[in-house]
Amino acid sequence: MSLTELHTHLYGCLQPDDLRWLYHRKVPRPHIYINSYREYYGHDPEFHELFHDDSDARAKLERSYYFDHPDNFQAFQIRFNLIISVAHADPEELPAVCDRVLAHEPAGYVEYRMLYPPRDRVEYQEMVLATCEGLRTAERTHTGKQARVAVSLFRDDRVCRQSYEWLREVLEAHTVARQYVCAIDFCAQEEGYPPAEKKDFVQEVLRSNRDNPGALAVLYHVGESYTDKSVESAARWIVEAARMGAHRLGHCVAMGVRPELYAGQTGREIVRERRDQIAFELEHCDELRQAGIAVDADLLQREAKLLAEKSPGDTVTYVYDPQRVDRLRQFQDWCMRAVGATGAIIESCPTSNLLIANLRSPDNHPLHRFLEADLPVVI
């Protein structure tokens, strides 16, 4: 049976030798990697030394590139920045990358995510077109494989709207783009970009799908990284993403992770997110109570008044005591039913989640509960 891969990133599929090729192909931009590394680890990494032609350098590159131990999204992004520092995603590079990636792709059908820098209309459209043409050529070279691209968009509303406008122009003008672009995708940093702010935009995309050639699925990375909010708020984000019309939801860790993982922990949540969670629970008070979840409306309203005096970026603390752990499980169960009612498909990424979300054990992975809840899931 042929494999299908629905959640992977084009440049994230490159192997160390491909990075070496990129490094020597065009002048690299080491500051992209070095600055992010320094900010996180407090010292500068090796860069040029990673690409020397000897066994020690090859081993160093592999250690620097592969994300193979539990940490967080920022640490993962540093590895991806190593790719960005040697890549240029120009119209000459993209077809070669498509060929290299598809050459060792085990799946018979694959959708690659690709985030293009939105610097200039012509440049952006050339990159999209080069990817589509590159995939078409790579398919002919590597027979038996079918590849598509999901164009990732930055979560900033102004930037994503501009990129989407440019993408639509390419789709309307080029048959190859309509054939190979299958979706739009929201990825990269979640924190600071609530799905609720994308509701109007997603509705515009869905309307455009009905009126224009090249209908696009809406993919949304959500509930994967939630360093600025509670698990409850991150689970709420998943519900909001599903209800606004996203077809597939990437990761959704917060909605199914075992609550016991957080038992006894003290967390911090920005005031904006706590306010939004209170408003959500008050709005859905009856539904939550029917599900057996205690909702003290008076207490929440008093808390909201106190939070109104604080800045949205201030933080509040909370503790996952036994009562809150139990309530979190109930809230997650409710969220899973709410998402299930939308028909949205969850893209679960077990290895990635174990490392980036630092789940400690496969027993804590949300996939178990997704399957128990009979949610539609792809792995």
Question: pLDDT digit string (tens) for 146-199?
Answer: 999 999 999 999 999 999 999 999 999 999 999 999 999 999 889 999 999 999
Distances (CA, A) of 270 to 191, 194, 237, 303: 10, 13, 14, 14
Q: Would residue 184 count as lying in a domain? A: yes
Does residue 82 belong to any structural domain of this protein?
A: yes
CA nearest to 135, candidates 127, 124, 147, 122: 147
Domain range for 159: 4-262+331-378
Specify the pLDDT at position 2.
78
Q: What is the pLDDT of residue 201?
A: 97
Maximum distance among all Cα pairs of the chain, rounded to whole angstroms: 67
Q: Are the CB atoms for 336 and 373 separated by under 8 Å?
A: yes
What is the pLDDT at residue 257? 98
CA atoms within 13 A on the CB side of 353: 27
Tokens representing 367?
């996939």
Evaluate whether residue 320 is within a structural domain. no
Q: What is the 3-class SS of 13-82, one letter each residue?
A: HCCHHHHHHHHHHCCCCHHHHHHHHHHHHCCCCCCHHHHCCCHHHHHHHHHHHCCCCCCCHHHHHHHHHH
**Structural domain contains residue 310:** no
Q: What is the pLDDT of residue 144?
A: 94
Q: Helix or strand or coil: residue 220?
A: strand
Q: Is residue 306 part of a domain?
A: no
164-176: b or e for each residue (b if 16 or more CB lie within 10 Å)?
Answer: bebbbebbeebee
What CA–CA distance (Å, rounded) separates 274 from 272? 6
- Quote the pLDDT of residue 212: 78
* Strand (E) or helix (H) holding 219: strand 217-222
What is the distance between the alpha carbons of residues 39 and 377, in angstroms, rounded to a whole number? 36
Number of domains in the chain: 1
Is residue 101 domain-resident?
yes
| pLDDT at residue 1, rounded to an integer | 57
pLDDT tens series, the chain, 379 aa: 579 999 999 999 999 999 999 999 999 999 999 999 999 999 999 999 999 999 999 999 999 999 999 899 999 999 999 999 999 999 999 999 999 999 999 999 999 999 999 999 999 999 999 999 999 999 999 999 999 999 999 999 999 999 999 999 999 999 999 999 999 999 988 999 999 999 999 999 999 998 876 799 999 999 999 999 999 999 999 999 999 999 999 999 999 999 999 999 999 999 999 999 999 999 999 999 999 999 999 999 999 999 999 999 999 999 999 999 999 999 999 999 999 999 999 999 999 999 998 899 999 999 999 999 999 999 9
Q: Which helix (H) or strand (E) holds 245?
A: none
| Sign of the CA dihedral with 292 first, then 293, 297, and 298 last | positive
Kind and range of the H or E element at 142?
none
Does residue 168 belong to any structural domain of this protein?
A: yes
Q: List the end-to-end C-alpha distance of the chain, in Å, as a whole number.
A: 16
> What DSSP character marks residue 266?
E
CATH code of 182's domain: 3.20.20.140
Is 280 among the domain residues? no
Q: If we measure between CA atoms, which residue out of 119, 39, 45, 36 comes closest to residue 80?
A: 36
**pTM score of the predicted model:** 0.94
Q: What is the pLDDT of residues 248-266, one digit of tens each?
A: 999 999 999 999 999 999 9
